[in-house]
Amino acid sequence: MKSHLKHCVPALFLGALAIAPTAASAQGARGWRETLFVPTPQGEWTGPRLPDGQPDISGHWSNTIGNHNNLTDPQGPLGGDDEGPPREGRQNARPIKPRSERAPSRVSDPPDGQVPLQPWARAKQQEFLKYLNNPIKPEYVEPFARCAPGGPTKSFMWHGYEIRQYPGYVLFLFDSGNRVIYLDGRPHLPANLKLWNGDSRGHWQGNTLLVDTTNNNSKARLGRSGEFVSENATIQERFIFDPNGDRFTYDATYTDPTVLTRPFTITIPNRRVTDKTPPDDWNNLTFPAKHAGTEPIIEAYERVCVEGNGDHGQVVAAAK
Amino acid sequence: MSNRSLALLAVASLVFTAASAFGQTAKPEAAQNIPRTAGGKPDFSGIWQSLSGADYGLEPHLATKDGPPGAGIVVGDVIPYRPEALAERAKKFAARATADPRTKCFTLGTPRGIYSNEPFQILQRPRDLTLLYEFGHPVRTINTNGTEHPDGHIDFWLGDSRGHWEGDTLVVDVTDFNGETWLDRVGDFNSDELHLVERWSFLDRNTIRYRATFEDPKVYTRPWTIEVLLYRRLEPNVQIIENYCSTLDYDKYYPFPASNE
């Protein structure tokens, strides 16, 4: 075992270029991947708690429906390049099922499942999508391919991730970037500090972590499909945990009069990764820890990205 | 004076240097005054930063255009490089403006991330300490749950950290380095065979005494040690602010698309 960059770089390559050397391993996640999910209802928390009173939801998690390729059709094709028959080296290396058999749009509101972009913004999104696999300008390279953080919502549309909790904090360790949710009631950072993953303040209400995320630089697209918001966007997030500890539903309502005609909501189902979860190099990036005891302990190795992103450097150079 | 006396004198002065760095003037605060977890262990939670300037050079150094002077943090002042490693350091020094991984926004690594100029936050649970570095925003985990280094050698940027408590001192064994990181801005370095042992303890409730011993026969002729203080950041509005430094190179390509383009 030489390096664990493999979790980041080849998979990013898949996301960035659709010449998917690891499409096969993504298919290995078939047992994990689901097309339907039942949103967890908001309610009381009856599961275990930490000494500071927080519901104990720490551990490893992953979304259940797909990657960041297509926001509104998570298991569907993306653009003309991917509508052909399955072929190694294409984004849709697996057969594409009819729309009715694929996971629903991550946009749960409005009911049409689309981001309510103003007409000019829709045109910009279409332009981005048109050049996604042929980025003739640097701005058509999806920033995630350059190891930028995924942004508040798209980070949940990528590899498995870890949640750690502390008095006053919930920490998300994503495969690309990380995020601290402050629970201590401190004010937001000054408004002129715009961040890839925003500035998050949260509190618990029963089984739900309610988070107010501002200071978004909104440089990350909402999917490789190109939907976007502006740096004026605010996000109300709800992490609704099933008290059995196995699943949670992530809801994020975006408000942004600069780009949107109305607020919209992204919904992403998530499931806990345990020592019983088969390793698949995608949802489950954990390994059994070596120790003398008998209880199962899993851990994830360090997550780095830019340090091993040479191939993307070339992509980026080509795009200049 | 005989050679033996000279050697003894040298050892004595080394010991004196080491002792005078922190020991004689700065005695650890009474054990009951340091922050503790519910389980009674020292609680290192907080935002910490070195004021040592060690990132400009671990060894004593004069001011240059690149940075301020500093007395260094190496116990005994000199890193005991092997001759060929000293030549490698000279090469790195000459190329430092672009070859220092810091200039590429790469993870500073261990232990550089601790004493560099940038702050980091420690978040502590019984099972581990999480170090959230501001520069580049990487995360290091120090496992304190009795787990061991994984089998084989793995090339980690931050190494693999397994810690245990010896009284009020956190002792961390770090292996599995990738040998790609530097120790400072002037080319000091280690190989992938580095074995680092860190000792973290409180000097007082707002100061950590950080001591680390380097063992790396590929690069050094003998083990050597650094000792540095870390200060708690106490500003009321202090917060680790994301610094995905590598994004700055292409940041300009990603304003959200404006409607008037």
Nearest Cα of chain B lies from the Cα of A56 at a distance, in angstroms, of: 13
Give residue A93's pLDDT band: very low, low, confident or very high (50, 70, 90). Answer: low
For residue B211, being part of any structural domain is answered with: yes
For residue B21, being part of any structural domain is answered with: no
Nearest Cα of chain B lies from the Cα of A308 at a distance, in angstroms, of: 9
Interatomic CA distance for residues A216 and A191, integer angstroms: 9
Q: Going by DSSP bridges, is the β-strand pair A264-273/B46-50 parallel, antiparallel, or unpaired?
A: unpaired
Contact between A269 and A32 under an 8 Å Cβ cutoff? The reply is no
| Average pLDDT value over all residues in chain B | 90
pLDDT digits (tens, 9 = 90+) for A105-136: 999 999 999 999 999 999 999 999 999 988 99
Tokens of A236: 């109300």
Stretch A216-244: mean pLDDT = 97
**pTM attached to this predicted model:** 0.89
For residue B188, being part of any structural domain is answered with: yes
Least confident of A9-18, B108-117, B139-148: A9-18
* Alpha helices, DSSP H, located in chain A: 9-17, 23-27, 119-131, 310-319
pLDDT digits (tens, 9 = 90+) for B163-183: 999 999 999 999 999 999 999
Q: Which residue has the tokens 């298919």?
A: A27
Range of the domain at B187: 42-145+155-235
pLDDT digits (tens, 9 = 90+) for A296-312: 999 998 988 888 886 55
Q: Which of B178, B250, B260 to mutate to test the interface with A (most CBs of A within 10 A)?
A: B250
Q: How many domains does chain A have?
A: 1
Residues of A with CB below 8 A from B130's CB? 164, 171
For residue B166, being part of any structural domain is answered with: yes
Residue B6 has pLDDT above 50, yes or no: no
pLDDT digits (tens, 9 = 90+) for A7-49: 343 333 333 333 333 333 344 445 688 999 999 999 999 999 9
Give the chain B residue nearest A304 (alpha carbons): B138
Q: How many domains does chain B have?
A: 1
Range of the domain at A106: 4-319
For residue B5, being part of any structural domain is answered with: no
Give the chain B residue nearest A173 (alpha carbons): B139
Which pLDDT score, from 0 to 100, does residue A79 have?
73
For residue B60, being part of any structural domain is answered with: yes
Three-state secondary structure string covering A132-197? CCCCCCHHHCCHHHHCCCCCCCHHHHCCCEEEEEECCEEEEECCCCEEEEECCCCCCCCCCCCECC
ipTM of the complex: 0.89
pLDDT digits (tens, 9 = 90+) for B81-99: 999 999 999 999 999 999 9
Report the half-sphere exposure of B184 (CA within 13 A, side-chain side): 23
CATH, residue B216: 2.40.128
Give residue B11's pLDDT band: very low, low, confident or very high (50, 70, 90). Answer: very low
Least confident of B41-50, B124-133, B247-256: B247-256
Between the alpha carbon of residue A164 and those of residues A171, A174, A299, B24, B70, the distances in Å are 5, 11, 12, 40, 38
